[in-house]
Structure 1
Amino acid sequence: MRVITSVLAGLMLTAAVPATSAFAAEEAVGLVVGVRGEVDLPARAIETGTLPGALTVDVPRSRVAAVADELRADPAVAYVEPDHIAHAAAVVTPNDPYYAQQWGIAKTRVNTAWTASRGSAAITVAVVDTGVKRQPDLAANLLPGYDFVNSDTDPADDDGHGTMTAQVIAATPNNGAGVAGICWTCKILPVKVLGAGGSGSYSNIAAGIRYAADHGADIINLSLGGSSDSQVLRSAVAYAVSKNALVIAAAGNEGSAALHYPAAMPSVLAVGASTPGDARYPWSNYGASWADLAAPGCNPVLNTAGVLTNFCGTSSATPFASGVAALLVAAKPAATPATVRLALEKTAVKLAGNWLAAGSGRIDAAAALSTVRGQAIDVTGPAVTITRGAASGARVASTTPYGVRATDPSGVTRLELYVNGKVYQRVAGAAYTFAVPAWKFGKVVRVQAKAYDRLGNARFTPTRTWYR
């Protein structure tokens, strides 16, 4: 997702022209000039591109104000403004006060996935749990639900488990409060099937799964389970799958390979818990025959009293996976649950220990999202090289030409040459030859080139060092 910093974000320079001697030792600044007709450019301005109703020019930094005033005095000029630069953030960093403690976000590249998808209000994640409290950080994303424990329409949380689960999925990010949920605008459907002690009957859980499926849940989060298989649960899960819901369940916290239900059902995505070091938490259940995916098993949340708590367990890993799945569905609503599940499993980072299904691993949100979209998230700068110029260690006494060339799948917009750590010259385009007058710098001269692509990603060449 592009972060737009000006109305000119979509305007790209279209051509590069050789710099005159006026630019030989001074950084160029780009201006956009709105035109009503033919414009006579001031002597110190070099046209670099044309746009509908405008043109772009480069001007020496010391002459920007004077050239702008001269252009504005021309009746054929409608406006003059800087050619601002828009950047696509390689990662997104919300301002929530406890975001820095959410290690799982960066570990799984959720913050990279956010550059392409932050969710959608059209996506519903059902939290089939102890209910959900209407906290400030959740209120905007909370739908009406149902309480199967007390048989009423008030799925309030008298335990806290469901509220913490919902926060991992969809606590409102970037609001200066609490934590950042993974799916920024996804809706939470609260379905209470567990009581104040965190336990409940299989029949209530089955009823809750069916209710979620009937009320449009795209994803059904089950941070619960038991040691016994059950036909009533299997029937409910099959019903949800028939309604195109992806059912995701906790593998359990006994530190055992014993099957845990409903997670162990083949049609359910079973989630184990991984550490910051990509190991299995010792309390997480495991099993190459049935544990499908790992996700961060400890996530900071606010409890029902509003106090920061470290929410740990496969109950915490499961909503992490559900939040990422919701990002995928939001990015491509036509993606089927099977497609989303396959993307999560096949792009996961492989882990040691053989505790997960073969071919799976720890969730990688950015890779899974790229797979579902069929388009990679570009956070890589152009391939840029210096094609000619003095080699490192050379002695140079005169002006030295430096050829620079860059390539990038999304297109190269700008090249910069740095001399001794400062921008020496900036030009539009993907190839240029810069002239560096050795006599203008010290006895040690360090030269480095930098290229930008259309998404704002950038990359430097290695530094070349030469001497006078």
Structure 2
Amino acid sequence: MRRRSLVALAVLVGALVVPELASAGRLAIGLDSRAQSSEVVAALEGRGARLVENLAPIPAIIVELPVGRSLAGIRGIRYVEPLRSRRLALVPNDPFVSRQWYLTRSRFYESWLTYPAFEQVPVAVIDSGADLKHPELVGRVLDAKSFVGGSPSVDPLGHGTFVSGLIAASVDNGVGIAGLAPSAELLVAKVVTPSRTIPIDAEVRAIRWAVDRGARVINMSLGGVRDPLEPDRDTFSRLEADAVAFAVENGVVVVAAVGNDDQAPASPWSFASYPAALPHVLGVSAVTQIGNVPRFSNRDKIYNDLAAPGEQIFSTFPRPLTSRFPACADQGFSSCGPDEYRQAQGTSFSAPQASAAAAILFSLRPELGAEQVTAILESTAIDANVETGCAACAVGRDALSGWGSLDVAAAIAALSKPLPVADRYEANDDAGSRAASISVKSGGTRHVQATVDFWDDQDDVYAIRLEKGKRVYLGLTGAVQDADLSLALWLPKTRFIEDVRAYRLRARVSTKPGGREYFSYRPAATGTFFVQVRISNPGTTSYRLRIVKG
């Protein structure tokens, strides 16, 4: 039986009563933006909980709680979810055919006659560890850490070594393969347990560690099922979303595989996996040598952003694993690995190619923002359609390939042209701690310039302090004429703007057709309110938000 991926994942629980599950004793507690963690911990301990770890500055803590204990009535809690595990997005299959066709397909080295002066770029690989003594990785690893015990240099699956080699294998050393990002320095984070699961808290700690160690790019070739039509099957995690938002706020490009059909309820599956299906994450699907999108690659109208080669991929492999096949000449490479790795396929191996491309852009222009890098990669992709080999792909952005197939040479060329507008407020996608704080003096005016993107950044949220009885005027103007924007003001009790049950907390809303919205409001009480800007039709636009306090 063919196996293309190892992916499964954690399930979200939004209630404040712990379900009676075997693993329910270990919980992630999300903290409200106004909460003092010490006070919340004290209240939890009063219910019999034990603090395991404070994940600050991510607004969450890990606790152990006896099964069945209620947390109702404890102030300062945004959400409660049992900690589950993710699995790797892919274990490839089929025999080895060719080596690194993907390098020329995506034009990684086409821009240079000689190597330019690169800025070194830390790239985190959150995966199964890596063979750190592999000749192709020696001198390429900045740091390594295991978040599941054991050594990060032991990779019993080979998945992390494969991904690491794609990104950062040594170049021009006379042996092996050429890594796709000559400037990359690896941060290897091991999060896969011996049972091939990835605990959510291990993933979150790895993200925090990578950000603290200076990562500019984080690659996550892992994920779990997204199914908005079946909430019981959907595996969204607020803890994971908070960790990703923390990385984005710190200028990190987060790249993730959209997932494969062997872990999905149907084939092909119409929804990208988490964390690819989170705002600001560059979700990557697979493309074949002839430009088609393979059936195993998940589809998604919103969260599939880009395609990259995802079949017959050749890379590094742990030498202890290839030594099991002593007659094979290519020791240390996937052609000498188990059968399922000798002709590797899947979105797990498409994602690191996009990560490598992001690292190249950062190395050439270190001042770029994360959202500028992803915008360049998307805008320079080769459209997948009938003429380029994908019979099922529509012209323009589509659910199969996103904006199209990765084109590194075109992305590099775009650096010499006007750059995408930077948005310094990201990732401000929700109320509470996720909102960007805006200060406006009484009687003063504040203008906010930012961007929204229907596919990657539909909502921008700003926290603003308003005083009882003092009117505020809000005006919104979009730069793109046909962009359909809306403007809303949410009451201080708001926690999550996407929860339909919270709509009663909207104090004012303006949804006139087009990109011009405005209203005024006089609060009945002093507090921190939330201003929401949303784009409702396909497209991207910058906008100006005007806030005038009476």
Please classify the TM superposition score into its range, dividing by the shorter chain length. Answer: 0.5 to 0.7
Distance in 2, Cα, partners of 1:256 & 1:115: 42
Deviates more, 1:280-289 or 1:100-109: 100-109
Aligned equivalent of 1:362: 405
1:287 to 277, 292, 300: 300
The CA deviation at 1:210 is 1.2
1:202 to 173, 179, 200: 200
Q: Which residues in structure 2 correspond to 1:198-237 (within 5 Å)?
A: 198-227=196-225, 228-237=235-244
Aligned equivalent of 2:186: 188
Query: Partner letter of residue 372 of structure 1?
Result: L
Query: Are the aligned partners of 1:161 and 1:198 in contact in 2 as well (CA < 8 Å)?
Result: no
- The answer as to 2:277 corresponding to 1:244 is no
The CA deviation at 1:370 is 1.1
Query: Partner letter of residue 159 of structure 1?
Result: L
The CA deviation at 1:164 is 0.2
Distance in 1, Cα, partners of 2:366 & 2:245: 21
Aligned equivalent of 2:448: none
For the pair shown, which has the larger CA radius of gyration, 1 or 2? Answer: 1
Query: Are the aligned partners of 1:121 and 1:187 in contact in 2 as well (CA < 8 Å)?
Result: no
Deviates more, 1:300-309 or 1:204-213: 300-309
Cα distance, 1:125–1:250 mapped onto 2, change above 3 Å? same
Q: Which residues in structure 2 correspond to 1:108-187 (within 5 Å)?
A: 108-115=106-113, 120=118, 122-134=120-132, 135-150=134-149, 154-187=152-185
Query: Are the aligned partners of 1:294 and 1:361 in contact in 2 as well (CA < 8 Å)?
Result: yes
Distance in 2, Cα, partners of 1:198 & 1:369: 37
- The answer as to 2:274 corresponding to 1:267 is no
Query: Are the aligned partners of 1:169 and 1:322 in contact in 2 as well (CA < 8 Å)?
Result: yes
SS at match of 1:207: helix
Q: Which residues in structure 2 correspond to 1:49-128 (within 5 Å)?
A: 101-115=99-113, 120=118, 122-128=120-126
Query: Partner letter of residue 189 of structure 2?
Result: V
Query: Are the aligned partners of 1:276 and 1:296 in contact in 2 as well (CA < 8 Å)?
Result: yes
The CA deviation at 1:199 is 2.1
Q: TM-score, normalised by structure 2?
A: 0.48
Structure 1: segments with no counterpart, 5+ residues: 1-97, 377-468
Cα distance, 1:290–1:117 mapped onto 2, change above 3 Å? farther
Distance in 2, Cα, partners of 1:211 & 1:110: 29
Distance in 1, Cα, partners of 2:196 & 2:118: 30
Cα distance, 1:257–1:178 mapped onto 2, change above 3 Å? same
SS at match of 1:322: helix
Query: Are the aligned partners of 1:182 and 1:323 in contact in 2 as well (CA < 8 Å)?
Result: yes
Distance in 2, Cα, partners of 1:277 & 1:199: 34
Q: Which residues in structure 2 correspond to 1:275-424 (within 5 Å)?
A: 275-298=288-311, 299-304=313-318, 305=322, 306-307=332-333, 308=335, 309-352=342-385, 353-354=393-394, 355-356=398-399, 360-374=403-417
Cα distance per residue 1:85-131 (max 9 Å; x no partner): xxxxxxxxxxxxx9972111111111213447668462011000001
Cα distance, 1:116–1:261 mapped onto 2, change above 3 Å? farther
Distance in 2, Cα, partners of 1:132 & 1:121: 24
Cα distance per residue 1:41-98 (max 9 Å; x no partner): xxxxxxxxxxxxxxxxxxxxxxxxxxxxxxxxxxxxxxxxxxxxxxxxxxxxxxxxx9
The CA deviation at 1:172 is 0.8
Cα distance, 1:274–1:117 mapped onto 2, change above 3 Å? farther
SS at match of 1:247: strand
Cα distance, 1:330–1:265 mapped onto 2, change above 3 Å? same
SS at match of 1:232: helix
Query: Partner letter of residue 145 of structure 2?
Result: Y
Structure 2: segments with no counterpart, 5+ residues: 1-95, 226-234, 262-267, 323-331, 336-341, 386-392, 420-550
The CA deviation at 1:162 is 0.4
Query: Are the aligned partners of 1:117 and 1:328 in contact in 2 as well (CA < 8 Å)?
Result: no
The CA deviation at 1:219 is 0.1
Cα distance, 1:217–1:296 mapped onto 2, change above 3 Å? same
Cα distance per residue 1:149-182 (max 9 Å; x no partner): 11x6645322210000001101112212111110
Cα distance per residue 1:395-420 (max 9 Å; x no partner): xxxxxxxxxxxxxxxxxxxxxxxxxx
Query: Partner letter of residue 140 of structure 2?
Result: N
Distance in 2, Cα, partners of 1:256 & 1:303: 29
Distance in 1, Cα, partners of 2:290 & 2:400: 19
Aligned equivalent of 2:543: none
SS at match of 2:307: strand
Distance in 2, Cα, partners of 1:323 & 1:285: 21
Query: Are the aligned partners of 2:119 and 2:366 in contact in 1 as well (CA < 8 Å)?
Result: no
The CA deviation at 1:251 is 0.3
Query: Are the aligned partners of 1:120 and 1:186 in contact in 2 as well (CA < 8 Å)?
Result: no
Q: Equivalent pairs: percent with the same residue? A: 33
SS at match of 2:223: coil
Cα distance, 1:114–1:149 mapped onto 2, change above 3 Å? farther
Distance in 1, Cα, partners of 2:371 & 2:220: 18
Query: Partner letter of residue 129 of structure 1?
Result: D
Cα distance per residue 1:242-296 (max 9 Å; x no partner): 1111000000011311231000102100000000111111111111221000001
Distance in 2, Cα, partners of 1:375 & 1:175: 36
SS at match of 2:124: strand
Q: TM-score, normalised by structure 1?
A: 0.56
Query: Are the aligned partners of 1:248 and 1:270 in contact in 2 as well (CA < 8 Å)?
Result: yes
Cα distance, 1:300–1:214 mapped onto 2, change above 3 Å? same
SS at match of 1:212: helix
Distance in 2, Cα, partners of 1:367 & 1:116: 17
The CA deviation at 1:184 is 1.5
SS at match of 1:294: strand
